[in-house]
Amino acid sequence: MDKIKMLTPVVELDGDEMTRVIWQWIKDVLIFPYVDLKSEYYDLSLVNREATKDQVTKDAAAAIDRLGVGVKCATITPNAQRMTEYSLSSMWKSPNGTIRAALDGTVFREPIMASGISPLVPAWTSPIIIARHAYGDVYKDVEALCPKGSKAELVITSEGEEKRILIADYVKSGGVALGMHNLDSSIRSFAKSCFNYALTKGLDLWFSSKDTISATYDHRFKDIFQEEYDANYKAAFEEKGITYFYTLIDDAVARVMRSKGGFIWACKNYDGDVMSDMLATAFGSLAMMTSVLVSPSGKFEFEAAHGTVTRHYYRHLKGESTGTNPIATIFAWTGGLKKRGELDGTPDLVRYAELLEKATIETVESGYMTGDLKAIFKKDGVEPVALTTMEFLHKIAERLEKAL
Ligand code: NAP
Ligand code: MG
């Protein structure tokens, strides 16, 4: 069989620990035999981030901006313990944060579904993709304790003019106060990323906030989304047969629980933080969750939502075989290659990526999986078998081979 050709490279961001090991195995077993892989490679391992003073992360972000599609392996975010372990000269920032800031992007978390791995909400038969605005609100607030007898005011100065708004008079009791903000530019980028991703996926977009109570702050979000939709996306949405729908956060929560899934839910920063953890848990497993960074200008970076699976890595170093689940990392690759194929107009690459996803899911559905999934797998007539990562990758390759 001729290998599938690529026109433009994907930006490949290698990472750390167990996921770095699996990264190479996925390429060896599932990609190289079938695809003439073109990639522009950046080594984001902590060792190389230290060696390059983190320049490699900035270069990788610039490459995604230039080429349009990146695929990223999980990376260590340094903490005090990692400083010692890797003799770091600085506590380098999370690469995900650096790349997100460079591309001004929004992260979409997307569960991978397979029969036998059932969501805790039985009605959910399709994925619910969550988009979290990653700037401002309570994450960039200022807070103060206000003693009894004090007064808190919001003061806004503009061109010498001063506007004061009373927050509270602490007459009967002391208390607390908080000031937070957001930026039109950031909200607009968030909205654009959401609309772009809904078009890419062909899925409805929901956006929720609390604009009835927060009639200026949250209302600003609602207005900017609507402006962007009307000005730049309405026609394309209608053509695709998808809808944009705004609702109150409490109504959204109720609708989500009753829904069948199959839509994108855009949330403000705090709502997205909380709701994404709830959805990830309810869909079954962190190892079955992918994450896509989408920039307002339509650049994409795909990765697994989980970390570098440190404990498995130390077992691997001792020579033990581990059953680390590679599915989210496989889907990072298929997401990136599929997008590359769509942008380049290379249907063979798109088809390969789709068949690899199908082969992966069907392997699980037929009873072959890693231990983490065996623990939650329930399907009539199928007795699950736990495999090591390598055995599982070869099972997938057998199916893929037949399908291709
Ligand atoms: P983690 O790597 O996601 O692992 C947490 C635990 O979840 C694992 O110990 C394992 O449980 C289970 N798990 C996660 N992924 C799995 C998989 N694919 N297959 C099987 N089990 C899986 O999170 P962490 O231990 O909090 O973080 C480890 C490192 O990853 C940290 O240095 C952190 O900075 C980094 N991190 C990176 C990213 C990213 O790059 N996007 C995201 C999160 C964390 P058992 O050990 O019980 O089997
Ligand atoms: Mg959280």
Whole-number Å distance, alpha carbon 73 to ligand 1 midpoint, is 12
Q: Are 174 and 145 in contact (CB under 8 A)?
A: yes
Q: Which of 261, 248, 245, 259 is nearest to 208 (CA)?
A: 248
Q: Determine phi and psi for 283, rounding to 5 degrees.
A: -80, -5
For the CA of 270, the nearest ligand: 2
Same domain, 297 and 205: no
Whole-number Å distance, alpha carbon 274 to ligand 2 midpoint, is 6
Q: Determine phi and psi for 14, rounding to 5 degrees.
A: -75, 160
Q: Whose CA is nearest to atom 33 of ligand 1?
A: 76
Q: Which of 67, 99, 33 is nearest to 25 (CA)?
A: 33
Q: Is the CB of residue 57 below 6 angstroms from any atom belonging to ligand 1?
A: no
**Rounded to whole angstroms, how far apart are CA atoms 24 and 14?**
9
What pLDDT is stored for residue 146 in this prediction? Answer: 98
> Looking at the whole model, is its pTM more than 0.85?
yes
Q: Is the CB of residue 75 below 6 angstroms from any atom belonging to ligand 1?
A: yes
Q: Residue 402: which domain range?
A: 1-116+286-404
Whole-number Å distance, alpha carbon 309 to ligand 1 midpoint, is 4
Q: Are 278 and 132 in contact (CB under 8 A)?
A: no
What pLDDT is stored for residue 134 in this prediction? Answer: 85
Same domain, 396 and 253: no
Q: Is the CB of residue 372 below 6 angstroms from any atom belonging to ligand 1?
A: yes
Same domain, 61 and 166: no
What pLDDT is stored for residue 250 in this prediction? Answer: 95
Name the domain count of the chain: 3
Same domain, 187 and 174: no
Paired sense of beta strands 289-294 and 300-304, if any: antiparallel
What pLDDT is stored for residue 209 in this prediction? Answer: 97
Q: Is the CB of residue 306 below 6 angstroms from any atom belonging to ligand 1?
A: yes
Q: Whose CA is nearest to atom 46 of ligand 1?
A: 311
Whole-number Å distance, alpha carbon 207 to ligand 2 midpoint, is 19
Q: What is the CA radius of gyration of the chain?
A: 23
**Rounded to whole angstroms, how far apart are CA atoms 402 and 356?**
11
Whole-number Å distance, alpha carbon 299 to ligand 1 midpoint, is 26
**Rounded to whole angstroms, how far apart are CA atoms 229 and 22?**
40
Same domain, 166 and 246: no
Whole-number Å distance, alpha carbon 273 to ligand 2 midpoint, is 4
Q: Is the CB of residue 77 below 6 angstroms from any atom belonging to ligand 1?
A: yes
Q: Whose CA is nearest to atom 10 of ligand 1?
A: 309
> Which of 224, 249, 283 is the C-terminal boundary of a domain?
283
Same domain, 126 and 265: yes
Same domain, 83 and 31: yes
What pLDDT is stored for residue 334 in this prediction? Answer: 98
What pLDDT is stored for residue 318 in this prediction? Answer: 97
What pLDDT is stored for residue 164 in this prediction? Answer: 96
- pLDDT by residue, tens only, the chain of 404 residues: 789 999 999 999 999 999 999 999 999 999 999 999 999 999 999 999 999 999 999 999 999 999 999 999 999 999 999 999 999 999 999 999 899 889 988 999 999 999 999 899 999 999 999 999 988 999 889 999 999 999 999 999 999 999 999 999 999 999 999 999 999 999 999 999 999 999 999 999 999 999 999 999 999 999 999 999 999 999 999 999 999 999 999 999 999 999 999 999 999 999 998 898 889 889 878 889 999 999 988 899 999 999 999 999 999 999 999 999 999 999 999 999 999 999 999 999 999 999 999 999 999 999 999 999 999 999 999 999 999 999 999 999 999 999 99
Q: Are 369 and 26 in contact (CB under 8 A)?
A: no
Q: Determine phi and psi for 209, rounding to 5 degrees.
A: -155, -165
For the CA of 134, the nearest ligand: 2
Q: Is the CB of residue 76 below 6 angstroms from any atom belonging to ligand 1?
A: yes
Sign of CA dihedral 291, 356, 296, 278: negative
Q: Which atom of ligand 1 is nearest to the CA of 306?
A: 3
**For the segment 274-292, what is each residue's pLDDT rounded down to a tens digit?**
898 889 889 878 889 999 9
The encoded tokens of residue 170 equal 């602490």
What pLDDT is stored for residue 276 in this prediction? Answer: 87
Same domain, 253 and 383: no
> Which of 225, 249, 283 is the C-terminal boundary of a domain?
283
> Which of 261, 283, 305 is the C-terminal boundary of a domain?
283
Q: Is the CB of residue 150 below 6 angstroms from any atom belonging to ligand 1?
A: no
Same domain, 258 and 348: no
**Rounded to whole angstroms, how far apart are CA atoms 373 and 381?**
17
Same domain, 123 and 267: yes
Whole-number Å distance, alpha carbon 89 to ligand 1 midpoint, is 24
Same domain, 128 and 238: yes
Q: Is the CB of residue 52 below 6 angstroms from any atom belonging to ligand 1?
A: no
Same domain, 153 and 227: no
Whole-number Å distance, alpha carbon 155 to ligand 2 midpoint, is 31
Rounded to a whole number of angstroms, the distance between the first and last alpha carbons of the chain is: 9
Q: Whose CA is nearest to atom 44 of ligand 1?
A: 307
SS3 readout for the chain: CCCECCCCCEEEEECCHHHHHHHHHHHHHHHCCCECCCEEEEECCHHHHHHCCCHHHHHHHHHHHHHCEEEECCCCCCCHHHHHHCCCCCCCCCHHHHHHHHHCCEEEEEECCECCECCCCCCCCCCEEEEECCCCHHHHCEEEEECCCCEEEEEEEECCEEEEEEEEECCCCCEEEEECCCCHHHHHHHHHHHHHHHHHHCCEEEEEECCCCCCCHHHHHHHHHHHHHHHHHHHHHHHHCCCEEEEEHHHHHHHHHHCCCCEEEEECHHHHHHHHHHHHHHCCCHHHEEEEEECCCCCEEEEECCCCCHHHHHHHHCCCCCCCCCHHHHHHHHHHHHHHHHHHCCHHHHHHHHHHHHHHHHHHHCCEECHHHHCCCCCCCCCCEECCHHHHHHHHHHHHHHHC
Q: Which of 46, 291, 308, 389 to mutate to test the pocket of ligand 1 (most atoms within 8 A of CB)?
A: 308
Q: Is the CB of residue 325 below 6 angstroms from any atom belonging to ligand 1?
A: yes
CATH label of the domain that carries residue 256: 3.90.190
Q: Whose CA is nearest to atom 38 of ligand 1?
A: 307
Q: Is the CB of residue 280 below 6 angstroms from any atom belonging to ligand 1?
A: no
